[in-house]
Chains A and B, each alone.
Chain A
Amino acid sequence: MGLHHEEEQHPELLHHFAEPEQQRNAASLGMWVFLGTEIMFFGGMFCAYLLYRHWYFGDFGAASKSIDATLGAANTAVLICSSLTVVLAVWAAQTARRALLLAMLCVTMLFGLAFLGIKGYEYYQKFEEHHVPGPSFSFENVPVPGHPGEYANPRHAQIYFSLYFLMTGIHALHMIVGLGIFSWLLLMAWGGRFTPAYHTPVEIGGLYWHFVDIIWIFLFPLLYLIDRHP
């Protein structure tokens, strides 16, 4: 199959692959499969969420209302923009625009940091309001939306906040891993490792980033927008 000839042409080709095409396909399939496992990982939490939201809908509505939806919406916008810059980064790598690639990787990371900053501020607010589950948790006399005179059960609200912190916390952890991946991509791009013939890491790193965005697209309405009416 003329392996040796090709090996000389593609310094990035690992020895156990026959050709760069095969290596690229393997890497991208690997990332897709990994993201499948991630869906199942988050799936356990979504399952718990659905059960308790169904059981304690009013309490969940009350708890959800106590969260600043504007901050959540801002974060949604930030992540959607970051997905755009990721796509531009991949395109830049494909078309050998090194400066654009570096810029887009940096901007993406800035968006990621902005997301974490806003998230951190939200956590801080919750901490101030004693909405963090645990001994100091308190959620007294909060009305249930749409049911005048009814107040949310603090225990059920605590389940909401437990899920809120777990789901957004694990999501944020994924974001931090994403920032790590992008720093590494940045280093490689800086060293000029990517060419139109070899840019798989940008592609699969981008896949991961999009996935983390999509999880958020589900988290935002589920956690911030329960039973909200203008």
Chain B
Amino acid sequence: MSATNVVPQQQFERETYLNKVYGMWSWLLTTDHKRIALLYLISITFFFFIGGFFALLIRLELLTPAGDLVQADTYNKLFTQHGMVMVFFFLIPSIPAVLGNFLVPMMIGAKDLAFPRINLLSWYLYIIGGVIMLHCMMTGGVDTGWTFYVPFSTNYTNTKFVEAGIAIFIAGFSSILTGLNFVVTIHRMRAPGMTWSRLPLFIWAHYATSIIQLLGTPVIAITIVLVACERALHLGIFDPRLGGDPLLFQHLFWFYSHPAVYIMILPSMGVVTEIIPCFSRKRIFGYSFVAFSSIAIAVFGFLVWAHHMFVAGMSVYAGLVFSFLSYAVAVPSAIKVFNWTATLYKGSIHYDAPMLYAFGFLGLFTIGGLTGLFLAALGINVHVTDTYFVVAHFHYIMVGGAVMGYLGGIHFWWPKISGKLYPEGWARLAALIVFLGFNLTFFPQFVLGYMGMPRRYWDYSHMPEFQVLNVLSTAGATVLGVGYLLPMIYLLWSMRYGKPASDNPWNAAGLEWKTSSPPPTDNFKEEPVVTWEAYNYEELDAPPQALEVPVG
């Protein structure tokens, strides 16, 4: 089923959300969720390349053991800004704000999100936060690490921490507003017949993500306020010399930031859950298990934060409890992996680009998740804390998992978003390059970390034997960079030169494929009424006579 399903060029241009009105203001003041999704797409791509630029400099510095390209201070800023940009300005908004914004209303048969103006406001907040972050980085930057631990961030750093904090604070509210819109939309805007058990699992995943955004993000917001006050006034809330407790900061920080990793991965799981049934031509295996495992992740994800603090001076008893709970939170993730695998079993599998990305996701997420279990074991954790093992673990999940899913989703829904087909051959090539480049970059880091290379150091000249693996990693990063640039180029190219897409080029289930590509502003010509279950691929593919109702 390669994407050759082409419709003849229409003589008259149909009215779509893209061509209904023109001009800059029609975009900057739009309340159409599909246009806001595109605004987000452009802005997060911009920040992705900024974050990527810092990553490139980090990898270049580590090419040689000596600290020759940049000095320690600059290196600290590089990894801090890389982390802050990638986490808060790329990965957290990535799938929800782009694909979620575009698809949530369409998948449930609504005309828009419940609060279109709040949706636009969320994009503006994101942009304001982003501009402040850019300003901060261009006028000196910040070196606290994305985790901005006290007392370094409150008492010692002389870089622009408060400005970065304000940027993250504001961007956080954009994330809260997106989550709020999704929850209300999913509760109140479903089309007739679209019951909870008929919802696409993408929607369940976004519902779970929204819960985390709503309950977690305010906590990081107040944490930033407390850190900023402490830094400005030396209140003592986090300062042990004044009676405060620095561990309190870490608890508050990770209370958000562990669940936040699920803000990044759950939507990606949702994307993969749409792609795999479509390209296996099978109903998803265990619908309700996949749905409720998303909710379970959102709930249990809030109970494991202190596994980031095993060596920070917590009691051993607390360590044991959080270790156990961290094992528990891996169960719902594993349930999903088993269900995806079972869906593939005896499916008629098509290796189109979105599916290649989904396969990449499966493998890399599994490795990332399993090494998470290593880290959740107290003994191993002590050995590899703050080494490249941790770095490799979270990159397997956040880059190997979340970004793979994001790219897969962008390809899968590109015909719907743009109305054009992307070049399939190039896309498969890019998926392959990303997969190989990714593994070449990050697999050596597991080994490095296990050998004892600490993270956040610019110089390893006392351990020159680390160089070979670091060179491999830097080489891999170059390949990965090419893999990310390619889609950028051919997707832009396809907007002008791509073949026009039919309404449903993948012959996929789901309401979003039942409207035209690209959709009209109101999404559907008439309000859809749903009478079928999600992922009814067997029905879709059944030979037509089987569907005929005997008359008589």
Interface residues of A, Cβ cutoff 8 Å to B = 1, 15-16, 18, 22, 25-26, 29-30, 33-34, 36-38, 40-45, 47-48, 51-52, 55-56, 133-134, 153, 155-156, 158-159, 162-163, 166, 170
Specify which chain A residues have a CB less than 8 angstroms from the CB of B183 in the assembled complex. 29, 33
Specify which chain B residues have a CB less than 8 angstroms from the CB of A159 in the assembled complex. 235-237, 242-244
A41 and B248 form a contact (CB under 8 A): no
B243 and A36 form a contact (CB under 8 A): no
**Can you list 17 A-B contacts (CB < 8 A)?**
A26-B114, A29-B183, A29-B184, A30-B115, A30-B184, A42-B222, A44-B222, A44-B223, A45-B226, A47-B251, A48-B237, A55-B243, A134-B233, A162-B233, A162-B235, A166-B225, A166-B229
Chain B nearest CB from A167 CB (Å) reads 10
Chain A nearest CB from B239 CB (Å) reads 9
A42→B75 CA distance, assembly (Å): 36
Specify which chain B residues have a CB less than 8 angstroms from the CB of A37 in the assembled complex. 176, 180, 214-215, 217-218
B248 and A48 form a contact (CB under 8 A): yes
Q: Judge whether B528 is part of the interface by a CB distance below 8 angstroms.
A: no
A117→B460 CA distance, assembly (Å): 61
Specify which chain B residues have a CB less than 8 angstroms from the CB of A155 in the assembled complex. 236, 242-243
A16→B31 CA distance, assembly (Å): 11
A47→B237 CA distance, assembly (Å): 12
Task: List CB contacts (< 8 Å) of B512-526 with chain A.
Answer: 522
B218 and A41 form a contact (CB under 8 A): yes
Query: Which residue of chain A lies nearest to B31 when distances are taken between CB atoms in the complex?
Result: A16
Query: Which residue of chain B lies nearest to A46 when distances are taken between CB atoms in the complex?
Result: B222
Specify which chain B residues have a CB less than 8 angstroms from the CB of A56 in the assembled complex. 243
A51 and B218 form a contact (CB under 8 A): no
Specify which chain A residues have a CB less than 8 angstroms from the CB of B223 in the assembled complex. 44
Q: Judge whether B336 is part of the interface by a CB distance below 8 angstroms.
A: no
Specify which chain A residues have a CB less than 8 angstroms from the CB of B221 in the assembled complex. 41
A52→B237 CA distance, assembly (Å): 9
Query: Which residue of chain A lies nearest to B252 when distances are taken between CB atoms in the complex?
Result: A44
A25 and B188 form a contact (CB under 8 A): yes
Query: B229-247, CB under 8 A of A: which get 1 and which 0?
Result: 1000111110000111100
Known pairs A162-B229, A166-B226. 11 more at Cβ < 8 A? A29-B183, A29-B187, A37-B176, A40-B215, A42-B222, A43-B219, A44-B226, A45-B222, A56-B243, A153-B243, A155-B236
B233 and A133 form a contact (CB under 8 A): yes
Kindly name the residue among A22, A48, A155, A170 whose own CB sees the greatest number of chain B CB atoms within 10 A. A48
**A33 contact from B111, B189, B214, B522, Cβ within 8 A:** B214
Chain A nearest CB from B182 CB (Å) reads 10
Q: Judge whether B116 is part of the interface by a CB distance below 8 angstroms.
A: yes
A153→B243 CA distance, assembly (Å): 10
Specify which chain A residues have a CB less than 8 angstroms from the CB of B215 in the assembled complex. 36-37, 40
Query: B173-199, CB under 8 A of A: which get 1 and which 0?
Result: 000100010011101110000000000
Task: List CB contacts (< 8 Å) of B343-357 with chain A.
Answer: none
Q: Judge whether B372 is part of the interface by a CB distance below 8 angstroms.
A: no
Specify which chain B residues have a CB less than 8 angstroms from the CB of A38 in the assembled complex. 218
Specify which chain A residues have a CB less than 8 angstroms from the CB of B112 in the assembled complex. 16
Q: Judge whether B216 is part of the interface by a CB distance below 8 angstroms.
A: yes
Interface residues of B, Cβ cutoff 8 Å to A = 110-112, 114-116, 176, 180, 183-185, 187-189, 214-219, 221-223, 225-226, 229, 233-237, 242-245, 248, 251-252, 522, 527
Q: A26 and B243 in contact (CB under 8 A), knowing A41-B219, A163-B237? A: no
Specify which chain A residues have a CB less than 8 angstroms from the CB of B218 in the assembled complex. 37-38, 40-41, 43-44
Query: Which residue of chain B lies nearest to A42 when distances are taken between CB atoms in the complex?
Result: B222
B188 and A158 form a contact (CB under 8 A): no
B188 and A22 form a contact (CB under 8 A): yes
Query: Which residue of chain B lies nearest to A1 when distances are taken between CB atoms in the complex?
Result: B527
Specify which chain A residues have a CB less than 8 angstroms from the CB of B522 in the assembled complex. 15-16
Query: Which residue of chain A lies nearest to B251 when distances are taken between CB atoms in the complex?
Result: A47
**Nearest 7 CB-CB pairs, A to B?**
A44-B222, A41-B218, A162-B235, A16-B111, A16-B112, A40-B218, A26-B114
A56→B244 CA distance, assembly (Å): 11
A40→B134 CA distance, assembly (Å): 29
A159→B236 CA distance, assembly (Å): 6
Specify which chain B residues have a CB less than 8 angstroms from the CB of A162 in the assembled complex. 229, 233, 235-237
Specify which chain B residues have a CB less than 8 angstroms from the CB of A29 in the assembled complex. 183-184, 187-188
Specify which chain A residues have a CB less than 8 angstroms from the CB of B237 in the assembled complex. 48, 52, 159, 162-163
B110 and A40 form a contact (CB under 8 A): no
Specify which chain B residues have a CB less than 8 angstroms from the CB of A40 in the assembled complex. 214-216, 218-219
Chain B nearest CB from A185 CB (Å) reads 18
**A133 contact from B222, B235, B245, Cβ within 8 A:** B235
Specify which chain A residues have a CB less than 8 angstroms from the CB of B243 in the assembled complex. 52, 55-56, 153, 155-156, 158-159
A43→B226 CA distance, assembly (Å): 13
Q: A51 and B235 in contact (CB under 8 A), knowing A16-B111, A30-B114, A41-B218? A: no
Query: Which residue of chain B lies nearest to A45 when distances are taken between CB atoms in the complex?
Result: B222
Chain B nearest CB from A15 CB (Å) reads 7
Chain B nearest CB from A193 CB (Å) reads 18
B235 and A158 form a contact (CB under 8 A): yes
Specify which chain A residues have a CB less than 8 angstroms from the CB of B216 in the assembled complex. 40
Query: Which residue of chain A lies nearest to B117 when distances are taken between CB atoms in the complex?
Result: A14
Query: Which residue of chain A lies nearest to B249 when distances are taken between CB atoms in the complex?
Result: A48
Q: A44 and B219 in contact (CB under 8 A), knowing A16-B116, A162-B237? A: yes
A52→B243 CA distance, assembly (Å): 9
Chain A nearest CB from B402 CB (Å) reads 23
A30→B188 CA distance, assembly (Å): 10
Kindly name the residue among A38, A40, A52, A133 whose own CB sees the greatest number of chain B CB atoms within 10 A. A40
A134→B230 CA distance, assembly (Å): 10
Chain B nearest CB from A118 CB (Å) reads 24
Chain B nearest CB from A228 CB (Å) reads 23
A41 and B116 form a contact (CB under 8 A): no
Q: A22 and B236 in contact (CB under 8 A), knowing A37-B176, A44-B219? A: no
A36→B183 CA distance, assembly (Å): 12
A63→B219 CA distance, assembly (Å): 27
Specify which chain A residues have a CB less than 8 angstroms from the CB of B180 in the assembled complex. 30, 33-34, 37
Query: Which residue of chain A lies nearest to B180 when distances are taken between CB atoms in the complex?
Result: A33
A36 and B214 form a contact (CB under 8 A): yes
Query: Which residue of chain A lies nearest to B229 when distances are taken between CB atoms in the complex?
Result: A166
Specify which chain B residues have a CB less than 8 angstroms from the CB of A34 in the assembled complex. 180
Specify which chain A residues have a CB less than 8 angstroms from the CB of B236 in the assembled complex. 133, 155, 158-159, 162
Chain B nearest CB from A127 CB (Å) reads 14
B252 and A47 form a contact (CB under 8 A): yes
Specify which chain A residues have a CB less than 8 angstroms from the CB of B234 in the assembled complex. 134
**A51 contact from B116, B185, B248, Cβ within 8 A:** B248
A58→B549 CA distance, assembly (Å): 81
Q: A18 and B527 in contact (CB under 8 A), knowing A26-B189, A29-B184, A33-B183? A: yes
Specify which chain B residues have a CB less than 8 angstroms from the CB of A36 in the assembled complex. 214-215
Specify which chain B residues have a CB less than 8 angstroms from the CB of A30 in the assembled complex. 114-115, 180, 184
A44→B249 CA distance, assembly (Å): 10
Q: A22 and B242 in contact (CB under 8 A), knowing A48-B237, A155-B236? A: no
